[in-house]
Structure 1
Amino acid sequence: MPLQYLIVFADVHHEFRLPELSSVAELHGFTATLPLNPEDRDPTRPYMVVELEQEEHALILARRCILVKSIYEFYGQGSSYEELHAATRASRARWERFILDTSFRFIVTAHNHKIPQSRQRDVVESFSYMALLGKIDMKSPDILFGCFEEYSSRNGMLRSKHEGDGRFQQVYFGRLLVEGTARQLIATYDVKKRAYYGNTSMEAEISLLMANQTLSAPGKLVYDPFMGTGSMAYTTSHFGALVFGSDIDGRQMRGKGKVPGVIRAARQYGTESRVLDLCTFDVTHNPLRCGSLFDAIVTDPPYGVRAGAKRLGRKKELSEEQLKTMMEFRNSPRADDQPYIPPTKPYELSHLATDLVLLARHLLKPRGRLVFFLPTVTDEYEELDIRSMLCEGMEVVANSLQDFGSWGRRLVTIRKTTDREYPRPSFEPEEAEAAHVPAHKDFREKYFQGFKKETDPPAGEDSSRTWHENNDVQRYKAVAEL
């Protein structure tokens, strides 16, 4: 029979919580059943009651989910303490084994509020009907009971210290089962402590969330087609996966030392042996000669803010005379023995995203996952932006927003749903005009224009809006520097 557990989430990345829970559960072969009431499974709320078949499943979630702070054996909840106590009495079978000789401690806390100590004592005393006979131990108790009050957000409102005390939305009660340990990895993989990183390196917390979306585990093979400084290699290999990476610019992966920078950083984390190889090539001219190779593809494609995406080719076609001269140059010996460096051209983001899905369908094993970030303009985004990228045999598993104000980036997880073999993509843009223009098309240009619309008033008519939009851009630039 399924048992209920109370999950206490870290107060960050709300939209990433449920996809991470379901991904970790899928990886380990069990189901975390969410509440039936839509309000109770709202991912922005700090507490959630889920059903699990075994207690071991709760321990797995706490060890692997980056956004789980702690998990409690659930005893009851209510919109008032009368309802909470009625529910707790009804679940006596779950806690009566602790009555006789178990040392204990109570904590009473709240989200978006600070409870005065006097009322915390009153709350603890209100559980006297449990008749616990064990010793009260404030330092190292055998068990810890937690009572959690949930208040609505009052950001930006002026109020006294304990104003609104007791007017909570819901209150929850349970016994601490396990503290989340995965969040400690954020400090371990902190970019600032890394042996090798660059200005486009993904922050540790997001890298770990992406790794969970790939279902990384021992025996899995993961590919990053835009490897850069290798942020995704470290977190996916931490969970046991073998990693292969490529980039059109090998300098990003190599760095300046004799040992490639990505390898040096992997060595720092003890996962060097799991980085199979690093290759320099254009993903649209890749040397991979067969499909169904990888369990997951994970990447943060460059979208032109700090580094632009490139592919082989020229911005303008050469004349016959220029082409002839170039071929003579390529075929002639050079005294400095320098290799020929082919020209590159910009890779527009909407084309890149569509090509990435086609590439994933070719290279992924059945049920393999493609996990990538897609920047988008907040006011222009539609769900069709993601659906229009899909092709036969691919489906969206999750789509979570990291909001920066005027724009955001979406962590998109797409799964291969077929075992059919698909041909290698041609990566040639379609001649026909697309029926839908996604918000991420020409994102670079929109970003540096401050996301102004054609209908925006001239300078001076509404300077406040322009200031806020530019401030959003500057705010993300500051985050990206970290």
Structure 2
Amino acid sequence: MVAEVEDEEHARILAKRCVLIKSVLEFFSSGASYEALHLTNRNKEHLWAPFQKNTTWKFSVTGYNQTIPKYRQRDVVEGFSYMALKGPVDLANPEQEFCCFEEYSSKGKEALRPKYDGDGNFICVYFGRLIAKGQARNLIQKYDVKKRAYYGNTSMDAEMSLLMANQTLSANGKLIYDPFVGTGSMLYTVAEFGAYVIGSDIDGRQMRGKGKEPGVLSSAGQYKVASRILSLLTFDVTNNPWRCGGLFDAIITDPPYGVRAGAKRLGRKPGVPSRDSVAAMRDPDTYIPPTHPYELSMLALDLVILSRYLLKDGGRLVFFLPTVNDEYKEVDIPVVEGMELVANSLENFGAWGRRLITMVKKESITREAPDLRPRECSERYLDHYVPAHRDFREKYFAGFNRNPDVP
């Protein structure tokens, strides 16, 4: 990606924070061949001339979707002899590192071909000076779920949790909430960047685990962010205890959508008799109230409406929304008045995918707490349009067949 920033320091800040950045370079030239690149680079002498004298240096030659053999790396470096760099070479700790980056098309089904096969058939080659290497990528290993003290089968992987944390603009002094916290994956990463966090879930067992110390807190201690977890609460988000809105700088969550664990809300399934009062009186400490399924399209809409109430003006909502790829349309995103969509990207799994949605609250008016009862929710739903994620669980286990009678 070629991007513009006002200052080199801004590039270094991005490299410290963005987990997808491997390196940031000052762009000198590019071309479909090295002849074209050198022609452009010779005309950019003012960019590299300041490093000709008394500067230790090295060259790196790398490729995307391709391994570059050593002998050709040497040939590439020698092709830049016209730059006449007079300082000594330092491969270990150079003052300046110049980089050639060759971009190749994806190997696709040929991924198992010999690693040097296709070498030199690049789409484009870029040349520049290294400004900073990505420093946040090591956080992916730090928060690796497999190394975590407590996790579950729905725990979000580390890289995605970090991406979502960045989307919230997590920083020192901010207060961030996860209403479907589960085993806490999102809490750890937003706390890593300095925010204070609160999590809630309808099933407290997900947060507690089976140890003496609550599972979420044990992992938070492992990452040294336990002091930033202000509270873990057990309640149904549609019957929440929040007494006022405008509390949070961001809301981040991965709502349950039924592939590994379906969403639930308080209430009995139709036709099930009520024995709740008797059971609660007999053993109030272990009583678990009945729940019934919480349909995904209803949940997504409720989440946006609740976020509009709970977020500060300018606060962000970041969440995953699964969808059927062939049926998806932009109107599937449940935007409501006062909430503006700012980012929508797809993680594609083939027939289906999940969209990372980022919204920002664009109003400063004070609203009353929303009524999220099932009846009210159905009245808000647009009956003339059915989003692709409606009844997603049933579609997933049916193999996304449009006609359920067709195998």
Which TM-score band (shorter chain)?
over 0.9
Superimposed CA distance per residue, residues 185-208 of structure 1 (whole angstroms, 9 cap, x where no aligned partner)? 011001111111111111101110
State how far apart, in whole Å, the 1-side matches of 2:151 and 2:350 are.
27
Residue 307 of structure 2 is matched in structure 1 by 360
Which of these residues, 41, 45, 50, is aligned with residue 88 of structure 1?
41
Per-residue deviation at 1:260?
Answer: 1.0
Residue 152 of structure 2 is matched in structure 1 by 198
Number of matched pairs: 402
2:398·2:404 contact (CA, 8 Å) conserved in 1? no
Which of these residues, 205, 208, 212, is aligned with residue 258 of structure 1?
212
Per-residue deviation at 1:376?
Answer: 1.2
State how far apart, in whole Å, the 1-side matches of 2:218 and 2:271 are.
40
Structure 1 pair 288/154, CA: closer, same or farther in 2 (3 Å)? same
Question: Which one-letter code corresponds to 2:392 in the other structure?
Answer: F
Per-residue deviation at 1:138?
Answer: 2.7
Per-residue deviation at 1:456?
Answer: 6.9
Q: Does 1:407 align with 2:352?
A: yes
Structure 1 pair 125/244, CA: closer, same or farther in 2 (3 Å)? same
Residue 429 of structure 1 is matched in structure 2 by 377
Aligned partner of residue 304 in structure 2, secondary structure: helix
Superimposed CA distance per residue, residues 102-132 of structure 1 (whole angstroms, 9 cap, x where no aligned partner)? 1211122222233343332222122111111
Residue 270 of structure 1 is matched in structure 2 by 224
Residue 314 of structure 1 is matched in structure 2 by 268
State how far apart, in whole Å, the 2-side matches of 1:191 and 1:211 are.
16
Per-residue deviation at 1:330?
Answer: 6.6
Per-residue deviation at 1:276?
Answer: 0.2
Per-residue deviation at 1:178?
Answer: 1.1
Aligned partner of residue 24 in structure 2, secondary structure: strand
State how far apart, in whole Å, the 2-side matches of 1:229 and 1:100 are.
56
Which of these residues, 321, 324, 329, is aligned with residue 382 of structure 1?
329
Residue 281 of structure 1 is matched in structure 2 by 235
% same residue = 62
2:312·2:361 contact (CA, 8 Å) conserved in 1? yes
2:54·2:86 contact (CA, 8 Å) conserved in 1? yes
Structure 1 pair 289/78, CA: closer, same or farther in 2 (3 Å)? same
Q: Can you give the 5+ residue segments of structure 1 that lack an aligned partner in the other structure? A: 1-47, 459-482
Superimposed CA distance per residue, residues 335-375 of structure 1 (whole angstroms, 9 cap, x where no aligned partner)? x5545432211100000000000000000011111111111
Question: Which one-letter code corresponds to 2:90 in the other structure?
Answer: D
Aligned partner of residue 245 in structure 1, secondary structure: strand
Per-residue deviation at 1:429?
Answer: 2.0
Question: Which one-letter code corresponds to 2:76 in the other structure?
Answer: V
Question: Which one-letter code corresponds to 1:214 in the other structure?
Answer: T
2:276·2:289 contact (CA, 8 Å) conserved in 1? no
Aligned partner of residue 101 in structure 1, secondary structure: coil
Aligned partner of residue 61 in structure 2, secondary structure: strand
Question: Which one-letter code corresponds to 2:345 in the other structure?
Answer: S
| RMSD across aligned positions (CA) | 2.0
Aligned partner of residue 273 in structure 1, secondary structure: helix
State how far apart, in whole Å, the 2-side matches of 1:434 and 1:242 are.
39
Superimposed CA distance per residue, residues 6-65 of structure 1 (whole angstroms, 9 cap, x where no aligned partner)? xxxxxxxxxxxxxxxxxxxxxxxxxxxxxxxxxxxxxxxxxx111111111000111000
State how far apart, in whole Å, the 2-side matches of 1:356 and 1:219 are.
24
Question: Which one-letter code corresponds to 1:287 in the other structure?
Answer: P
Q: Can you give the 5+ residue segments of structure 2 that lack an aligned partner in the other structure? A: none
State how far apart, in whole Å, the 2-side matches of 1:188 and 1:125 are.
39
Superimposed CA distance per residue, residues 312-333 of structure 1 (whole angstroms, 9 cap, x where no aligned partner)? 1111167xxx66x755x378x5
Per-residue deviation at 1:169?
Answer: 1.8
State how far apart, in whole Å, the 1-side matches of 2:385 and 2:315 are.
27
State how far apart, in whole Å, the 2-side matches of 1:79 and 1:215 are.
37
State how far apart, in whole Å, the 2-side matches of 1:66 and 1:232 are.
15
Q: Does 1:125 align with 2:78?
A: yes
Question: Which one-letter code corresponds to 2:331 in the other structure?
Answer: L
2:149·2:219 contact (CA, 8 Å) conserved in 1? yes
TM-score (norm 1): 0.79
State how far apart, in whole Å, the 2-side matches of 1:161 and 1:309 are.
45
2:200·2:233 contact (CA, 8 Å) conserved in 1? yes
State how far apart, in whole Å, the 2-side matches of 1:138 and 1:433 are.
63
Per-residue deviation at 1:94?
Answer: 2.3
| Residue correspondence of structure 1 range 46-65 to structure 2 within 5 A | 48-65=1-18
State how far apart, in whole Å, the 2-side matches of 1:362 and 1:161 are.
54
Residue 318 of structure 2 is matched in structure 1 by 371
